[in-house]
Amino acid sequence: MHEKILETNPTPYNRLEVDPITLDIIENALRNTREQMDATLFRTAMSPGIREQGDAFPMIANVDGKMVVGQFGSFIHGFMEAFEGTIEEGDMIFTNDPYSCGGAVSHLNDYLVIKPVYKDGRHLCWAAHFGHMTDIGGRAPGSLPNEAREIFEEGVAVPPVKVFRKGELQDDIIKIVLRNSRMPHWNEGDFKGVIAACNIAERRCIEMAERFGDDVFYSALDELLERNCRAMQKLILETVPEEVQTFEDYICDDALGSGPYKIKCSMWREGEKVIFDFDGTDPQSPGSINFLLNEEMFKMFCGTFMISAFDPQILFNDGFYDYMDVRIPEGSLLKPRRPAALSCRTHALGRIFDVLSGLLGQGNPDFLCGAGFSDSPHFMYSGYDKNGEWYQLYQIGFGGIPARPIGDGPDGHSLWPGFKNVPNEFLEAYFPLRIETYESITDSGGAGYHRGGNGIRMGYRFLEDGEISIHDDRWLTYPWGVNGANPGLRSTKELVRATGETEMLPSKCDRFEVKSGDILYFNTWGGGGVGDPLTREAERVLQDVHSGLVSPEAAHDIYGVVIADGAVDEAATEALRAEKAADKSEAKLFNFGDELEELRANCLAETGLEPPAAPDFSKSRLAAE
């Protein structure tokens, strides 16, 4: 990578010992810089997806491209392998093509900008940011077509190019991408906000180097990576067994009538290194649910999960990557061959977290979480209003976070912790719709000693004729519970016409026509529970009932709690729980609800939708190569 970085000052940095106080100051200054990057973008962006929800991710990396602060892990190594040419001071690189950067971004809507930070002619570090653009062309408004079969249908793909060259803006590039967007003014504001965020990071990193010295700043970045490495080394040895553990989960369908699609991963430890092998994962789909999983990104997912579960005080960064080996078969759902479609990759991306939870928790049941709201469901609504003006909404739905060993799962939250909900007042002010209901779905969280978070019911009443598109999952399979708990409730999409007619919509559909007065009930799924629901303190169940999170019927039938006159009947509850415990079968480590064949057999009756057919991978030309 270094041979592509041109410097006018060839003097190497000196690695120094950095005292703990200085290291702590630099660490927190870097964290603060990351927050400033987000604040700059959110105050500049035009689209609600970024401005209101925060669908953007910053990063600062050392000269070797290893992330020191950020969220998704470093993508610079894979990016630089694909980049042709050299990089100089004042350059800024832009791409949105997953196949040109090894999955550093995972679909075309994510605009990635990378800036090498220079000081006194030497490469000091990297700053990067990417954000989801509301529309970049393609066959459907929002550029996320469920039914795409090739990436060419999803919008304009830009290979790594210099959007700034030696400090000069290459305006023609911006003009090209904006010309291919249905919402060019939003994209321009968002794109320039991403660029501004990288400039802020550059300024702050140079200020730190000026304050403490270039060598100290350089050494501090390496020390923060090494400190993380030492902590993760210990964590891996303590928590990952040498014997092979295997777990699998599913994407319900591909929007083309086939499914479920299996994601399978095996994990074991060889000495100090943990191996993750996705052999057994289904071949790539002919549809758009494929996910080009960047190995470095997966390592960050693993590290984030392990740190959150076992030692939340560790600053997660890329320092531990040498102690993980990730193996993903070519031509699989998680490493599709170009030009496989990727626009619905969010389902597989989210399901990776459930697979990780199942894998890492098997050997440590006390740390096991249920399956959660492992997705970022997308809702799109577009058309021309009464004044002939084009409107286009892109919104991310929230659902139930899984129960954890330490407590209940939060209700109605995003898969990504930093995402925020778009205020209903904003939606009603800027789009021709009214929010009829926004509420927690009672009983949707899996019952357990710790209850899974509830999903959300959001009722959109459309005030103009238009088209909607929906990206969601977990309508067929269940978000499983663990250690004797129940799974969460599945998702549904129900359209009530202004005429009174009702129909169930699939979880994945494109350009579905709606009329003024129609209401869409967008119901997301709940998180799986943890532990036997009969052991949950009766007063906690009573509080859930009073809060509308659990129904009185579920309190009685599932939790074994008898409520009379607004209070717990202690004697009756004790008797009922003893009776239910005597009839209860042995607790399952994982409760998946039903087997796949049962889910298929009961699909129409339970969901109002026909079951998907088993995928026929012999028809996939690319997967068969």
Q: Which tokens in the block code for residue 66?
A: 């290893």
Specify whether the CB–CB gap between 592 and 487 falls below 8 A.
yes
**Residue 267 identity (one-letter amino acid):** M
What pLDDT was estimated at residue 591? 95
Q: Which helix (H) or strand (E) holds 467?
A: strand 466-471
Averaged pLDDT, 26-54: 93
**Residue 385: how many other CB atoms lie within 10 Å:** 14
Q: Which tokens in the block code for residue 541?
A: 């169940």
Q: Which of 19-33, 49-63, 85-99, 610-624 has the lowest mean pLDDT?
A: 610-624
**pLDDT band at residue 624 under the 50/70/90 scheme:** very low
Task: For 570-601, write each residue's pLDDT tens digit.
Answer: 999 999 999 999 988 888 899 999 899 999 99
Long-range CB contact pairs, 336-339, < 8 A, 24+:
336/284, 336/285, 336/290, 336/291, 336/292, 336/622, 336/623, 337/284, 337/622, 337/623, 337/625, 338/99, 338/151, 339/99, 339/150, 339/151, 339/152
Q: Which helix (H) or strand (E) holds 223?
A: helix 214-239
**Can you give the pTM of this predicted structure?**
0.92
Specify whether the CB–CB gap between 197 and 58 falls below 8 A.
yes
Which position has the token pair 């095996």? 266
Reduced to 3 DSSP states, what percent helix, strand and coil does the chain have, rounded to the nearest 5? 35, 25, 45
CA–CA separation, 544 and 553 (whole Å): 12
The answer to whether residue 421 scores a pLDDT higher than 80 is yes
CA–CA separation, 318 and 501 (whole Å): 53
The answer to whether residue 258 scores a pLDDT higher than 80 is yes
HSE-CB of 533 using CA atoms within 13 angstroms: 29
Find all residues with CB under 8 Å of 588, minimum gap 6, and list them: 484
Task: For 301-328, write each residue's pLDDT tens digit.
Answer: 888 777 766 666 666 778 888 889 999 9
Task: For 329-387, write each residue's pLDDT tens digit.
Answer: 999 999 999 999 999 999 999 999 999 999 988 877 888 899 988 888 999 999 999 99
Q: Where are the domains of the chain?
A: 2-231, 368-532
What pLDDT was estimated at residue 430? 94
The CA–CA distances, whole Å, from 217 to 9, 26, 32, 321 equal 17, 8, 15, 22
Averaged pLDDT, 18-43: 95
**pLDDT band at residue 236 under the 50/70/90 scheme:** confident
CA–CA separation, 164 and 576 (whole Å): 70
Q: Which tokens in the block code for residue 148?
A: 């795409």
Q: Which tokens in the block code for residue 95?
A: 């791409």
Averaged pLDDT, 386-412: 94
Find all residues with CB under 8 Å of 25, minimum gap 6, and list them: none
**pLDDT band at residue 625 under the 50/70/90 scheme:** very low
The answer to whether residue 448 scores a pLDDT higher than 80 is yes
The answer to whether residue 545 scores a pLDDT higher than 80 is yes
Specify whether the CB–CB gap between 294 and 65 falls below 8 A.
no
Best CA proximity match to 453, nearest among 371, 539, 546, 523: 371
E strand map for 24-148: 56-61, 67-70, 92-95, 110-119, 122-132
Nearest-10 crossing angle of helices 295-310, 346-362: 50
Averaged pLDDT, 139-156: 96
CA–CA separation, 172 and 194 (whole Å): 18
CA–CA separation, 233 and 230 (whole Å): 5
Nearest-10 crossing angle of helices 20-44, 214-239: 90
Nearest-10 crossing angle of helices 171-179, 184-212: 140
Mean pLDDT, the chain, integer: 92
The answer to whether residue 211 scores a pLDDT higher than 90 is yes
What pLDDT was estimated at residue 475? 97
- Taking the CA atoms of 546, 547, 552 and 558 in sequence, report the sign of the dihedral they define: negative
Averaged pLDDT, 132-146: 95
The answer to whether residue 74 scores a pLDDT higher than 80 is no
What pLDDT was estimated at residue 313? 67
Residue 362, SS3? helix
